[in-house]
Amino acid sequence: MTQSLDLLSLQSVSKSYGAVPVLHEIDLSIRDGEFLTVLGPSGSGKTTVLRLIGGLEAMTSGRIVLDGQDIGRMPINRRPFNTVFQDYALFPHMSVAANVGYGLSIRHRPRQEIRQRVGEALDLVQLGKFADRYPAQLSGGQRQRVALARALICQPRLVLLDEPLAALDLELRRQMQEFLKSIQREVKTTFLFVTHDQEEAIGMADRICVMQAGRIRQLGTPHDLYYRPSCKFVAKFFGENNLVCGKLAAGDGSTRAIDTALGRLHCSIEGQPELRSAPHGATAFAVFRPEALRAAETNEDLNRFSGIVEELAFAGSSTVAHINSSGERLRLRQPSRVTGSALRPGETMDLSFAPGDSYLVLS
C-alpha cells in the first residue's frame, strides 16, 4: 500500500495568550486523504490547533505549511479549508439550500452551477428532500449534515470538524460517526476531527493525535494507542487500562520484570528500547487491559496474584469487575454470560495476565 503524502504540516507551532502558553512548539503532519482525530481533555490545546489551521486564531510562532508554502499568516478567506462547528453555525433565516450554497454565492458562481452543486451536496448527505426547509425545522442530526454539506460544497483541501457531534444524543451520535466516516471515504477529502471522546476517536480515525497541556503526547493508529500507549498519561486517558506502579528489575530481551505491590510482574517491552536500557530501580508502570486479566489456572502462571471482588458493573455484552489487590484497584472485563455465574462481590480470586498482553511505560 502506497504511503499517503503529507497535505499540511505544523512546524514548531506555539500559541500564547499574553504570558499564558497554550501550545508548546508542536510538530504535526496531516496526510492527504486521511481522517485524523485530535484527542485530549479540556484545556489540552486540541481546539486551538484546529483554529490556528483554519485561520480563526493567529499563532505566536512557528510555521503552517501547505504545498511548500507557509500559510500561517494567510487570511482565513484564502485558505482552502472549511470548518464544521459544534453549534453548526447555520443561518436561521436561510433555507437549507441557501445555507449549503452560501460559499458558492459569495464566490459569485453562476446560479445554475450553484443549484446543481447544492443538489449534489444535499444528495450526498441524504437531505435532498429538505432543500426548502429552514434549520429550525430540522433535527440535530439533520442540521449537522447540512453543516457538513456546506463545508464540502466548495471542495476544500481539508475539512476541520470542531466536536460537531457533542450536542447529539448517544444513539444519534453513533449513527453520525458512521455517516461521517462513510462520507469521508466517498469524497476522499482530508478530515481533521477534534474530540475529547476516546470511543469516538477509536471508531472514526485513521490516526489519533493525543494532546495534554499544549503538547502532543502520542500520534499513531487507534490500535497503537489502544495496545501500546507511549506514556502514563496516554495509558490512563485512552481507555480503561490497569496501571500498577513499581520499580524495574531484570529483563530477558522481550520482557522485563517490575516489582510492585502485587509482587513481581513480567511485561512485554517489544518495540520499547528505552525500557530495555532503563536502569534497575527506575519507576515504571505495568499496563494491561481489563480484558487481559483472567482467573489464574495453575500455580505456575506468571503474573499471578490474588484480589477481592468489590463490585460488578454490568455493561450489556460484558461485565466489569472492580477488584482490590494489595491496595491496587483493578478492572477485569469478561463476557456477561461468563461473569454472571462466576464472580460475586466479596469473593477472593486468583488472577493473572500473560506478559504478551501487557507492557511497561516509564513515569
Q: Domain containing 268 — which CATH number?
A: 2.40.50.140
Tens digits of residue pLDDT in 6-28: 999 999 999 999 999 999 999 99
- The reply to whether 1 falls in a domain is no
Task: Give the per-residue pLDDT at 1.
Answer: 42
For the record, the C-alpha cell of 207 comes out as 490516526
pLDDT-derived band at 314, boundaries 50, 70, 90: confident
Highest mean pLDDT, choosing among 121-125, 163-167, 244-248: 244-248
Residues in the chain: 363
For the record, the C-alpha cell of 32 comes out as 492527504
Average pLDDT of the residues in 107-133: 92
pLDDT-derived band at 172, boundaries 50, 70, 90: confident
Q: Are residues 223 and 298 in the same domain?
A: no
Q: Are residues 137 and 212 in the same domain?
A: yes
Task: Give the per-residue pLDDT at 226.
Answer: 87
Among the three residues 179, 203, 227, which one is the final residue of a domain in this structure? 227
Strands 294-295 and 69-70: unpaired
Calpha distance 179→159 (Å, rounded): 15
- The reply to whether 302 falls in a domain is yes
Using the predicted structure, report yes or no on whether residue 119 has a pLDDT greater than 90: yes
- Where is 70: in which H helix or E strand? strand 69-70
Task: Give the per-residue pLDDT at 85.
Answer: 86
Q: Are 10 and 53 in contact (CB under 8 A)?
A: yes
Tens digits of residue pLDDT in 40-70: 999 999 999 999 999 999 999 999 999 889 9
3-class secondary-structure state, position 329: strand
Using the predicted structure, report yes or no on whether residue 4 has a pLDDT greater than 70: no
**In what order do the strands lie in the sheet containing 215-220?**
81-84, 158-162, 190-195, 35-39, 207-212, 215-220
Where does residue 245 rank: exposed (0-12), middle (13-18), buried (19+ CB within 10 A)? middle
Q: What are the angstrom distances between the C-alpha of 273 and each of 207, 245, 277?
A: 23, 20, 7
Q: Name the CA radius of gyration of the chain, rounded.
A: 24
- The reply to whether 295 falls in a domain is yes
Q: What are the angstrom distances between the C-alpha of 288 and each of 3, 25, 210, 355?
A: 31, 32, 19, 9
Report the range of poorest mean pLDDT among 18-22, 173-177, 208-212, 281-285.
173-177
Q: Are residues 206 and 280 in the same domain?
A: no
Task: Give the per-residue pLDDT at 220.
Answer: 95
Q: Are residues 110 and 202 in the same domain?
A: yes
pLDDT-derived band at 335, boundaries 50, 70, 90: confident
Tens digits of residue pLDDT in 213-240: 999 999 999 998 988 888 899 998 887 8
- The reply to whether 343 falls in a domain is yes
Task: Give the per-residue pLDDT at 17.
Answer: 92
Q: Are 336 and 318 in contact (CB under 8 A)?
A: yes
Using the predicted structure, report yes or no on whether residue 162 has a pLDDT greater than 80: yes
For the record, the C-alpha cell of 269 comes out as 517491552
- The reply to whether 232 falls in a domain is no
- The reply to whether 234 falls in a domain is no
Using the predicted structure, report yes or no on whether residue 127 has a pLDDT greater than 60: yes
Q: Are residues 218 and 337 in the same domain?
A: no
3-class secondary-structure state, position 152: helix
Q: Are residues 104 and 250 in the same domain?
A: no
Q: Are residues 220 and 298 in the same domain?
A: no
Average pLDDT of the residues in 135-145: 90
Task: Give the per-residue pLDDT at 340.
Answer: 54
The CATH number assigned to the domain holding 66 equals 3.40.50.300
Return the percentage of the chain with pLDDT > 70, whole number.
98
Q: Are 329 and 236 in contact (CB under 8 A)?
A: no
Name which residue leads in pLDDT, 85 or 341: 85
Q: Are residues 294 and 178 in the same domain?
A: no
Using the predicted structure, report yes or no on whether residue 341 has a pLDDT greater than 60: no
Residues of the domain holding 263: 240-362
Number of domains in the chain: 2
- The reply to whether 235 falls in a domain is no
Q: Are residues 297 and 176 in the same domain?
A: no
Among the three residues 227, 257, 290, which one is the final residue of a domain in this structure? 227
pLDDT-derived band at 3, boundaries 50, 70, 90: low
pTM: 0.88
Name which residue leads in pLDDT, 322 or 340: 322
Q: Are residues 178 and 267 in the same domain?
A: no
Using the predicted structure, report yes or no on whether residue 339 has a pLDDT greater than 80: no
Q: Are residues 248 and 220 in the same domain?
A: no
Among the three residues 195, 227, 259, which one is the final residue of a domain in this structure? 227
Q: Are 100 and 94 in contact (CB under 8 A)?
A: no
For the record, the C-alpha cell of 289 comes out as 487491559
- The reply to whether 10 falls in a domain is yes
Q: Are residues 39 and 180 in the same domain?
A: yes
Mean pLDDT of the chain: 90
DSSP state of 132: T
pLDDT-derived band at 313, boundaries 50, 70, 90: confident
